Amino acid sequence: MATISHIVKKIVRENPLLEEFLSRKLISYASLAEYLKEKIELELNKKVKHTAIIMALRRLAEELESKNKRIVKKVFLEDNIIIKENLIEIILEKNNENLKNLKKLYENNLIENIIQSNNEVVLIINKKNYEKLNSLIKKSFKIKKLHENLNSITLRISEEATNTIGFFYIITKELAFNNINIYEILSTYTELTILIDEKQTIKAYESIKNLKQTYF
């Protein structure tokens, strides 16, 4: 049997922005209850009290906050956040020639990170190494796209991250909420690295730090 709480959860879950504002307690329960009242009454086919909707919203906000807290505490490690500066992202077409030439760079430890998909290869390389190898790179590779002036932020995460639903969502949601664009996300078993524009590094660092401090 449908209840006010069930319908409130359903409406909020269908609207990620509303869920985000509610979990951060940035929205008036009374105003939101007034806005949702007619829809809830249509769903239940009966009149409902404004105060009952407020109580359902308050309980849901506490549930959302508690869920985020459990995830962050379970997965985040309290080590320092690591920042690397002056990075360049090079996007290549994935073909035999490019893969063969990549071996030279990789063997000489000149690549920070490498990502392979079905059709592309992405290289993350330090600006100094790129400047040294600029002519070689342009000669050896057909570059599809190049992004300069990037920094990376790396977080240490627990081994439970891979089995924790919603962890990556919490991080990307936090950055999106603060209007930070993500160029790439790289993850290993116990590390998560985010590639961003150098101009947004301080803002991204503070956003992630505040997220950790909020839930620890």
pLDDT by residue (tens digit) across 186-216? 998 889 999 999 999 999 999 998 887 776 5
Cα separation of 85 and 193, whole Å? 13
Q: What is the pLDDT of residues 124-133, one digit of tens each?
A: 999 998 887 7
Identify residue 142 by its one-letter amino acid code.
Answer: K
Query: What is the pTM (predicted TM-score) of this model?
Result: 0.77
Confidence of residue 79 (pLDDT cuts 50, 70, 90): low
For the chain, domain boundaries: 4-69, 82-215
- Contact of 92 with 142, CB cutoff 8 Å: yes
82-215 under CATH 3.30.2130.10, yes or no: yes
